[in-house]
Amino acid sequence: MNAQELNLAINEFVKENLSPLEKERNLIENRYDDLKKTLSGHTFRSGSYARYTAIHPVHDLDVINEYTELQFEDIPKLMRELAVMLVEHYGDNATVTEQSHSVAAVFPDEFSIDIVPGLRLDGESNEFGEPLYLVPDIQKMSHSARAAKYEARDQIDSKKSDPRGYRKQAQDLNEANPDFRHSVKLVKGWRHGCRKRLDNKFKLKAFHAELIVTQYFTGNPKATSQDAIQSFFENLPSFLTKAQIPDRASVDVMVDEYVNDLTAQDKEVLNSEIKIAATKIVGLESLNSNEDVHQSLSEVCGLDQKKSTGGPTGYVRPTGAWAE
């Protein structure tokens, strides 16, 4: 199989096994439309689902809801009021939980919508002319510290965020080369498989993985999925040595700051899995059929199926933007 055939086989695997199912997308859209009916501010989707880089199964939807400057002065109060509003809206149809930086509505099927309050900074914008936001900032704290601060109802600090910029960046890369999205989904599929087996021992963050691929396609706009995933696994160990990816909203803040806190044991687990996956990815070049490529990628992603052509049982092939 030549390089073009191999790349087509990789992309086909991603479409058939990692893209969100049609029924998932329809349900998410319906739930989002329903949510907008009760939220008072301007609302928009953020996160991987909004960037079309989410993989099946989709576990959550991130939503930014805009608030005024006056409301944003007391974030804990704002969160409590939002939670009360959502409890009244959903009743027994979802469990509403106040979290450290968002309010979550968790449905019986374990899908959740995370509503993050945001203050639109009309005087500050990204290179696309879209506004930056202030959002609650206690993500860097430990879970116990977050819980203590939130339980005490202490005022929560804010940080600048650029959710619209990340969405536009991903959209532009994919419009220029759909292999960007395919590559992101493949490495996220690998990460998901590792997390299923190793749980919290595997500490690579999904957004970090996506930004590594984003950086690669920014510098190599005509790359193929095969090029990108090979580069990802070859270079991932160097991305785990220290934080090095600036936040779009604040260049002095590193998105991958968690890397600086990884222990030697954490890195040993990560590098072991990286080495296994890298060997399989390089080995794709010696395979002779789509079926063999799909089988090898199924093993990389930890899928419980011997043949991935045709997708899992009940799978409906993606359409529209998700199928690109």
Per residue in 245-293, pLDDT (tens digit) is 999 999 999 999 999 999 999 999 999 999 999 999 999 999 999 999 9
Q: What pTM, to 2 d.p., does this model score?
A: 0.88
Per residue in 183-199, pLDDT (tens digit) is 999 999 999 999 999 99
Domain count, the chain: 1
Task: Say if strands 103-106 and 95-98 run parallel, antiparallel, or are unpaired.
Answer: antiparallel
Per residue in 160-183, pLDDT (tens digit) is 999 999 999 999 999 999 999 999
Residue 108 has pLDDT above 70, yes or no: yes
Residue 141 has pLDDT above 80, yes or no: no
Residue 67 has pLDDT above 70, yes or no: yes
Per residue in 13-34, pLDDT (tens digit) is 999 999 999 999 999 999 999 9
Of 189, 242, 163, nearest in space to 14 by CA = 189
Q: d(Cα 313, Cα 142) in Å, to the nearest integer?
A: 40
User: Bigger pLDDT: 193 or 318?
Assistant: 193
Residue 58 has pLDDT above 80, yes or no: yes
Residue 156, pLDDT score: 58
Instruction: Assign 3-class secondary structure to 52-97.
Output: CCCCCCCCEEEEEEECCCCHHHCHHHHHHHHHHHHHHHHHHHCEEE
Per residue in 77-92, pLDDT (tens digit) is 999 999 999 999 999 9
Q: d(Cα 258, Cα 242) in Å, to the nearest integer?
A: 9
Give the H/E segment covering residue 133.
strand 131-136
Q: d(Cα 242, Cα 210) in Å, to the nearest integer?
A: 17
Q: Which domain holds residue 129?
A: 3-323
Contact assessment for residue 100 and residue 138, using Cβ atoms and an 8 Å cutoff: yes
Percent of the chain with pLDDT over 90: 81
Q: What is the mean pLDDT of residues 37-42?
A: 89
Per residue in 115-135, pLDDT (tens digit) is 999 999 999 999 999 999 999
Of 170, 182, 175, 203, nearest in space to 18 by CA = 182
Using the Cα atoms of residue 215, residue 220, residue 224 and residue 229 in order, give the sign of their dihedral.
negative
Query: Which neighbouring-strand residues pair with 65?
Result: 43, 117
